[in-house]
Amino acid sequence: MAAAVAGPEIERLVQLLARLPGLGPRSARRAALHLIKKREALMTPLAGALQVAIEKIQICKNCGNIDTQNPCTVCTDTRRDQSIIVVVADVADLWALERAHATNGLYHVLGATLSPLDGVGPQDLTIDALVARAHDPRVTEIILALNATVDGQTTAHYITDLLQEAGVKVTRLAHGVPVGGELDYLDEGTLSAAMRQRTLF
């Protein structure tokens, strides 16, 4: 058994950092050492920011985004197109679309995708709230911005069936050749999807 090289407080910091996505035990140790070395410049402000986040962050009652206000900044932005709702599985997807300035519509965060193997069913997602929002007379289009995985596409089909009575246009993100992609390096599924969804030049 390896001897302890630091006190229990430092070991606890390393263990907590190791739980973050993308950080294993080694990366967590490096991050912990960096925080400790930069205690005044980094660790103290980070601890303060985490405490404020614990106290102020809320889940938006309209769309499921996380923010320090409820409804969130996106939902209260009057410049947004109220006729479009972009459906995403997770807040990370919402943030990705916002970074890309891909849409000016509103959002709806499902919380996950349907995954029977993981025990995630329709009752675990915010699908009922989405269907209710789709019946708003201002809404004319629902964009399903879900991952091109089996679970993502299953969720998209399930939602599409439920939205048939809402009288809205249901669209999904195009699948195919990425910008800057070379055909020789793409998998067969991506190439097939790109060919099926070809557009006029």
Q: Give the model confidence (pLDDT) of 33-82 as tens digits.
A: 999 999 999 999 999 999 999 999 999 999 999 999 999 999 999 999 99
Per-residue pLDDT at 176: 82
> Hunting for tokens 């950092």 — which residue is that?
17
- Cα Rg, the chain, nearest whole Å: 22
Instruction: Return the higher-pLDDT residue of 182 and 29.
Output: 29
Tell me the two tokens of residue 29: 């140790």
Q: At what angle do helices 25-37 and 8-18 cross, to 10 degrees?
A: 120
Q: Is the pLDDT of residue 2 over 80?
A: no
Instruction: Return the higher-pLDDT residue of 179 and 96.
Output: 96
Distances, alpha carbon 28 to alpha carbons 19, 20, 50, 59, in Å: 9, 9, 17, 28
110-128 pLDDT, tens digit each: 999 999 999 999 999 999 9
- Give the confidence band of 189 by pLDDT, cuts at 50, 70, 90: confident
| Mean pLDDT over the full length of the chain | 91
* 55-89 b/e (C-beta count within 10 Å ≥ 16 → b): eeeeebebbbbebeeeebebbeeeeeeeebbbbbb
Q: Are 172 and 156 in contact (CB under 8 A)?
A: yes
Closest CA to 115 of 77, 147, 80, 79: 147
Per-residue pLDDT at 1: 46
The whole-model pTM stands at 0.83
